[in-house]
Amino acid sequence: MADAEPTIVYTDGACSGNPGPGGWAWAESTDRHDSGGAAQTTNNRMELTAVDEAIRSNPGSLVVVTDSTYVKNGLEKWSKAWVRNGWRTKDGKEVKNRDLWEPLVAAVVERPDLEFRWVKGHSGDLMNDLADRLAVAQRDAHRPGGGVDAAGAPGGGGSLADLDPAAQRLERRRRDGRIPDGHLLAVFGQAPPELGGWDANPLSDGIRRRLTEILAAKHEIQTDLVVLSGLRQGAEQLGAEAAIAAGVPLVAVLPYPDPERVWPEGARVHFVELCEAARDVVVLERKRPADREAAGKALGRRDSWLVHAVDEAVLVWDRDDGRYRKLHGSLERRLGDDLWVVEPG
């Protein structure tokens, strides 16, 4: 299973006037980076935005290197008191930039493989200098008459949010080497209790047959079709089995190492068999979660990674189970008519 070294990204923010035009940037290398900005913002907001964008764009094991003492002090000193006081300062005022701080603090708690480091700004560090140049270019581009476009600053990756969903998928694949080549289709859906039970049964057998027919038909049209599955019991495993039966390459996408370790023995054996049948296995996060709540959040991050990576999706859903309504909405917004809902029964 893939278990790469952590990604290391450098972040920086820039602003003129404070408030005024500003820019943010994160960079892993001269070939992989992202940047954006705003016409009216502050330096602190740009520093926080750079970190937030870096975290959201790089699921899995990540080291964020920043030169911002504001970010450093916020994470190391101030945030515990903010959370304890309901995001209020000592004098009772709401914490400035709470909309950016709150998800950042939550990410620190939720992602055990997220690490922060600090570097002195303008000290000759090549990557810190690169992030600074990208942020400054965005700041200047967002001045009146600066002519910002979807591509972002000169030489920068631009903000993914500025691109349409299809262009975002292409750009994500360029930046994220874990996303496989080909026309990608993911299978999501309900768990065994909603699909006839944990043992083999006519309802799940019928869903598997329907998925096999769908994938075989799509493979005739898209010869480079690849099925992505998280291999959770229920619809995801049925989709993986259908891909194998239809002769479509399968890539397993796991949220963290050995997610099956708490399953019954027979289920663990079948999980390993599906992994061995897959063309590749991608593990998004290096560390196992500490408890069930953390595991659920890691699964949510895996779902988000898949939603943003694939060209099509099949959702096995009875349209009544509210747990899948949010996922359906995300898929529909990203994929439009390329989302297929298979209703059990």
Q: Which of 52, 67, 194, 236 is catalytic?
A: 67
Based on the residue annotation, tell me whether 122 is a catalytic residue of this protein. Answer: yes
102 is an active site residue: no
Q: Which of 31, 91, 122, 199 is catalytic?
A: 122
Closest CA to 298 of 256, 326, 331: 256
**Gap between the terminal Cα atoms of the chain:** 35
Q: Given 47, 194, 236, 285, which residue is catalytic?
A: 47
Q: Is 140 a catalytic residue?
A: no
Token code pair at residue 208: 């598997």
Q: Check if 13 is active-site.
A: yes
The one catalytic residue among 12, 241, 260, 303: 12
What is the enclosing helix (H) or strand (E) of 23?
strand 20-27
Q: How far apart, in whole angstroms, are the C-alpha atoms of residue 243 and residue 213?
A: 10
- Which residue in the list 52, 132, 236, 241 is annotated as catalytic? 132
Q: Give me the phi and psi of 259, to 5 degrees please.
A: -65, -15
Closest to 140 (Cα-Cα) out of 154, 130, 128, 127? 154
Instruction: State the DSSP code for 78.
Output: I
C-alpha 36/C-alpha 131 separation (Å) is 11
300 is catalytic: no
Q: Is 171 in the active site? A: no
User: What is the residue whose two structure tokens read 């972040």?
Assistant: 11
**C-alpha pair distances (Å), 283 with each of 109, 259, 273, 275:** 20, 10, 17, 11
- Active site members: 12-13, 47, 67, 122, 132
